[in-house]
Amino acid sequence: MTTVYCFDPLFLEHNLTGHPENRARLEHVMATLAATGLLDRMALLRPRPVDVELLTHVHSEDHVTTVRRLAGRGGGRLDADTYVGLASYDAALLAAGGAVELVRAVLDGRAHNGFALLRPPGHHATRERGMGFCLFNNVAVAAQAALDECGLERVLIVDWDVHHGNGTQDIFYDSPQVLYFSTHQYPHYPGSGHWRERGEGAGLGFTVNVPLSSGVGDGGFRRIFAELLTPLAERFRPELILVSAGYDAHWADPLAGLFLSLAGYWQIAQTLVGLAERLCEGRVVVVLEGGYNLTVLAHGVADTCRALLGDPASGPDPLGACPWPERPVDDVLGNYTAARYPLKRQP
């Protein structure tokens, strides 16, 4: 079965020297995947720009127009954190389109699973605005395509970035078709993601936030994915799993304070691949989000690719285990009851 990756050099043209989210992130990832032989084991899927009609099912026309016009004027900023350059609008269209093309390939049988190696990232982009380094919400557009074009009824989005994916939550907050599950440091940027944020209307209970204090590491994540995500996924029975994959929860990342190691990332990647094999014929698509220690980012992506390929072990860990004691998560897990997340078991 084929594992595919999506990449295009245009993703590198969205760039601002000195900004944490710059082209060096993806350059380092691609160089590491090539050096380890992983690129040769996966098939390249060239992206196409997302159809603007699909994009405006997820984002407002005003937001899309704002990004296009700002790029057309040579660039600027959407906010203090989020830049737009001359090539950023085209790169963002291609990034969202790449996530969509990868979902289409998995759903029509051309690929078993895959990794969208793209930027700019997306999970902070809401319906109305870009923020947090994000222009368009790539994973949300891909999920919407799966629902609208491919006839799916249930999509699981797992967001393991250290920052809460407020944009993805915003877009699907009232939808029972998308189960959004996020682990993130809290309180931390962007300030959302309390466990009490559970969705609304028909979507009540289909948003599952797991806010974590600094210091939660491999053991805590292992318990959260085994004791909370797995039973929720088994009740929801997704037809596709999408992953917003940030590698900034690592203990060496400069922008946050969770204590995952590369071994911990390997474990949660394996958990999700295993869930996909059991619940939805292996259909899982991983979409790159954050991660700002270049060594961690590149090796984390490489290990996730190994999990997608079915390798029995992770690759080398140049940084090793977290040197500090981990915080337990018993109090975190106590916030979740079936009454608060009344997902009915799907046939």
At residue 338, the pLDDT reads: 80
| H/E element, 114 | strand 113-116
Alpha carbon 278 to chain centroid, angstroms: 21
At residue 344, the pLDDT reads: 74
The amino acid sitting at 133 is F
In the chain, the domains with their CATH numbers are 3-333 (3.40.800.20)
* Residue 57 is among the residues annotated as catalytic for this protein: no
Separation of alpha carbons 160 and 268, rounded Å = 9
Q: How many CB atoms lie under 10 A from the CB of residue 18?
A: 5
Contact 1, 282 (CB under 8 A): yes
Q: What is the pLDDT of residues 239-266, one digit of tens each?
A: 999 999 999 999 999 999 999 999 999 9
Q: What is the pLDDT of residues 271-286, one digit of tens each?
A: 999 999 999 999 999 9
Considering only CA atoms, which of 49, 48, 54, 45 is closest in space to residue 147? 54
Alpha carbon 41 to chain centroid, angstroms: 22
The pLDDT confidence band at residue 60, using thresholds 50, 70 and 90, is: very high
Selecting among 59, 124, 184, 188, the annotated active-site residue is 124
The pLDDT confidence band at residue 74, using thresholds 50, 70 and 90, is: very high
The pLDDT confidence band at residue 347, using thresholds 50, 70 and 90, is: confident
Mean pLDDT of 25-48: 98
At residue 32, the pLDDT reads: 98
pLDDT at 37 over 90: yes
Tokens of 70: 């700002």
Question: Can you count the helices (H) and strands (E) in the chain?
Answer: 12, 10
> Is the model's pTM score more than 0.85?
yes
